[in-house]
Chain A
């Protein structure tokens, strides 16, 4: 019964660009039925409004599903141009092996630790830096009650990010192993 919220997939990590203005990221996919003619177009929000206004028939509007990969891709490219040296290896999460290229390709992260490892790209792509985007919903009871396992997991994830950022991969691997160990043997309450 759930509707498919998208009718369009952008593969291969392409950055979807508005087909109308050619500048902005395309965030909207429009299906237009005018008479017997069905056309599809992907455009930015601003161009979408003009296009829908001009449609003499039915215009169905869908959100671009993997807009994220496009936004991340733009953020990553901007970052690369400034910071990355030629031949430098791509950033990778040592817990699950997901690389930045994988994230750009699929729009998906591999594990919870990826949120720390790829946080600069996520923040640029999703605008996560502002306090207005901080989490306001339900909090797991264990976090609220100060569960020792949860606290330790959060601490280790932050440590993992710092180690990956400073390219101390051996130490990062031991933190990864400690995280895996915690899944099997939670910390005992003292």
Chain B
């Protein structure tokens, strides 16, 4: 029953116009003209209705939080003020486009499971379409040029999220992160490490191809998953009472609590889900991917949009913690601890 998988994979591709200065120094009218050019090309290069375009300022904090939680908007863009920034949504959320953020263009796409190659292929195709109406900043030696020169090259960032709480408890993630860094990869705690979720990504994109980047990220993530499996077995063998105590407490709180913060909820879901994989908890539907979807569903932006019917409400509303607790009670109502 024990199995562990990639929870989600995502890509981000950065492009800039060859002549207009980068957004942090360009005059607003130049950026505005660029934005109009990009939007016109999106319309020309796609079927009607495929792209929905929104001025960034028209999106409320709750809507931005929701999009960032789904991997369709970067946290920095969600925080930006940007009078000349716009956001594009492709086919209802298969991909997205940030216009005039840190760079002129950033294409994003995310999907549950191991889909890095497909995501890159889709974003590559959108990139080709955009290029029909634009001249991208490119240098034969540096590659695609970006506002931050250490991001120049392919302009591609590839991400894979893995659930490795046992490696975290065993104190192994620091060593592994340093090892990955020497290979040009980053191992970063997602959501501040809550639930032992980590993101593997490439650090830069120069001197390597897109294929190499996606393969390197997948290989590193798979290696982490294998190590996580081994450490879980060792932990259960060497500390069976501690492990059972941890899982049992998590399930108890998830089934009984009435107010739960988001980081706590992620930890509870992760612990119960690992308990299911280890055969300690009976909750057959709680696969790693369903657990991850549940973690996303109880984020503040998702609760505000999907459960509380408000796109303009506050993310700090105390009722959010109560709604989150109710969802956990409902999901785990029939789960039980194996004796």
Contact = CB atoms under 8 A, between A and B. Distances in A.
A77 B17 CA distance: 31
Contacts of B138: 139-140, 143, 150
B236 interface: no
Contact of B150 (A52, A59, A68, A110): A68
26 contacts: A1-B190, A2-B199, A3-B190, A3-B191, A3-B199, A28-B181, A45-B181, A52-B178, A61-B178, A63-B186, A95-B21, A96-B21, A96-B26, A97-B25, A109-B148, A111-B25, A111-B26, A115-B145, A135-B141, A135-B153, A137-B208, A138-B209, A139-B138, A140-B131, A150-B138, A182-B19
Contact of B171 (A2, A57, A106): A57
B159 interface: yes
Nearest to B71: A1
A115 B8 contact: no
Contacts, number: 186
Residue from the set A1, A45, A97, A136 with the largest chain B CB neighbour count within 10 Å: A1
A133 interface: yes
Given A1-B68, A107-B150, A112-B16, 13 more contacts: A1-B161, A2-B68, A5-B186, A45-B182, A49-B178, A61-B174, A108-B148, A110-B22, A126-B150, A135-B154, A137-B205, A137-B210, A154-B140
Contacts of A179: 19
A28 B177 CA distance: 10
B4 to A, nearest CB: 19
B74 interface: yes
B interface majority secondary structure: mixed
A101 interface: no
Interface residues of B, number: 72
Contacts of A182: 19
Given A68-B148, A135-B142, A153 B19 contact: yes
Interface residues of A, number: 61
A143 B149 CA distance: 20
Interface of A: 1-5, 28, 30, 45, 48-49, 52-53, 55-63, 67-68, 95-98, 106-112, 115, 122, 126, 128, 132-143, 147, 149-150, 153-154, 157, 179-180, 182-183, 186
Given A1-B10, A2-B199, A154-B139, A138 B25 contact: no
B25 A110 contact: yes
A63 B203 CA distance: 9
3 tightest A-B CB contacts, nearest first: A59-B174, A135-B143, A137-B154
